[in-house]
Amino acid sequence: MPPETASQTAPPTTPAAFGTVFCDWMTVARYRGGQWSGPAVEAVAPLALHPGAHVLHYGSSCFEGLKAFRMPDGQVRLFRADRHAERLRRSAELLCLPLPPVEVVEGMIREAVAANRDDTPHPPGALYLRPTLIGTEANIGAAGAPPAEALLYILASPVGDYFSGGGRPLTVLIEEHGMRSTPGFGQAKTGGNYASAMRHVVAARREHGADQVLFCPGGDVQETGASNFLLIDDRRVLTKPLDGSFLHGVTRDSILTLAADLGYEVVERDFSVDELLAWTAFGEAALSGTAAVLTGVGELIRDGRRHSVGDGSIGPNTRRLRQALTDIQAGAAEDRFGWLS
Ligand SMILES: *Cc1c(COP(=O)(O)O)cnc(C)c1O
């Protein structure tokens, strides 16, 4: 069992499994009586929650995941914190949760970084920040009402390279019947969507040895349980256009921006499972997300049949785009889009 909290006196060189080590300090704000109080820096410790808390019964929770990086000059800087703060607000809106202004959320993220600065590993590691918003009102009668009390906290966790060196290519099961989420709610970063996807992911692992499930309801290629999905070749990047069915990834947006800058044609349009399988004969496929960055898919499984993507290894264009992003994040390339702050 991982300890509930652990601290490092020096930046760790080989952090534990992603998400299992927590820094000592979090920032916290509380909502009650129509007002937010705080924020304050508090020691990471078990939360006191009433057993009737809204979140425990009616799933009133949403979260974010972003990273702060240690620069060559020792500064620690956040990657696209504004986007993550805005997205937390969007998720909160969809869940009818109260949320402090975007400046307050961003300020709390910055304070969490400052409080845990010394625990920030060197690249390719990072300080992973996990803003979390939950409904805390003790009221099991409030099934159809938003919680009148809420808690926002920002946890910090030192993380390594999720898949070191870009990792091994993933095996992904194509799921055309089950859905990860529902139309409209798919863009909320909420535990409910993970809970909804879970049984499909568990079955894919157990029955097919798959790493992830690509949700393609009715043949429409959307995303996996926790990552966006992109098709890549020597001159194009193809992905689904933003709609309410899937999570609008900051990594997705960053990769598309970098791809266009590197001369790739960026195509955002819907595509089918048949088109996806045709693409695998010549192109590459990858998953994008803050934790995974950009990870190649080596194999797809549809109706029990295995289809190799290219030669089954991580393709050169996937590596190139991943490197372009990680170079900016590590401060090794110029931050031309103003993403670090
Ligand atoms: C967080 C998440 C992503 C990736 O978003 P990033 O902003 O790139 O980290 C993709 N899909 C789902 C379902 C997610 O929860």
| Nearest Cα residue to atom 12 of ligand 1 | 226
CA of 31 to the centre of ligand 1 (A): 26
| Domain count across the chain | 2
- Residues 134 and 267: their CA atoms lie apart, in Å, by 37
Cα-to-centroid distance, 102 and ligand 1 (Å):
19
* One domain, residues 34 and 118: yes
Tell me the three state secondary structure of residue 187. Answer: helix
- CA 223 / ligand 1 centre spacing (Å): 9
- Ligand 1 atom nearest to 84, measured from its CA: 7
Among 84, 159, 242, 247, residue to substitute to test ligand 1 (most atoms within 8 Å of Cβ): 247
Question: Going by CA atoms, what residue is nearest to atom 1 of ligand 1?
Answer: 226
pLDDT at 164: 56
- Give the residue from 138, 159, 180 where a domain finishes: 159
Residue nearest to atom 5 of ligand 1 (CA): 249
Q: What is the pLDDT of residues 121-169, one digit of tens each?
A: 999 999 999 999 999 999 999 999 999 999 999 999 999 877 655 579 9
321 and 186 belong to one structural domain: yes
Q: Name the residue range of residue 318's domain.
A: 170-329
Residue 11 lies in a domain: no
Q: Where are the alpha helices (DSSP H) in the chain?
A: 54-58, 81-94, 102-115, 191-208, 250-261, 273-279, 316-329
- Specify whether 256 is located in the same domain as 277: yes
CA of 227 to the centre of ligand 1 (A): 5
Q: Do 176 and 307 lie in a common domain? A: yes
Does residue 194 lie within any of the structural domains? yes
pLDDT at residue number 136: 98
In the predicted model, residues of the chain with pLDDT beneath 50 are 1-10, 12
pLDDT of residue 221: 98
Does one domain contain both 310 and 201? yes
Q: Are residues 324 and 184 in the same domain?
A: yes
Residue at a domain's end among 159, 179, 205: 159
Q: Whose CA is nearest to atom 13 of ligand 1?
A: 226
Q: Which residues line ligand 1 (CB under 6 A)?
A: 65, 189, 223, 226-228, 247, 249-252, 288-290
Within 13 A of 24's CA, how many CA atoms are on the CB side?
A: 9
Closest residue to atom 4 of ligand 1, CA basis: 289
Ligand 1 atom nearest to CA at 180 = 13
Burial readout 32-48 (b: 16 or more C-beta within 10 A, e: otherwise): eeeebebbebeebeeee
Shortest CA distance to 2 belongs to which of 25, 27, 19, 26? 19
Supply the pLDDT for residue 7: 41
**Residue nearest atom 10 in ligand 1 by C-alpha distance:** 227
Q: How many CB atoms lie within 10 A of CB 18?
A: 15
* Ligand 1: centre distance to CA 290 (Å): 7
**Structure pTM?**
0.94
In angstroms, the Cα distances linking 221 to 56, 170, 224 are 32, 17, 9
First to last CA, the chain: 35
Reported as a single tens digit per residue, the pLDDT across 196-237 is 999 999 999 999 999 999 999 999 999 999 999 999 999 999
Distance 151 CA to ligand 1 centre (A): 22
Same domain, 146 and 201: no
In this prediction, residue 8 carries a pLDDT of: 41
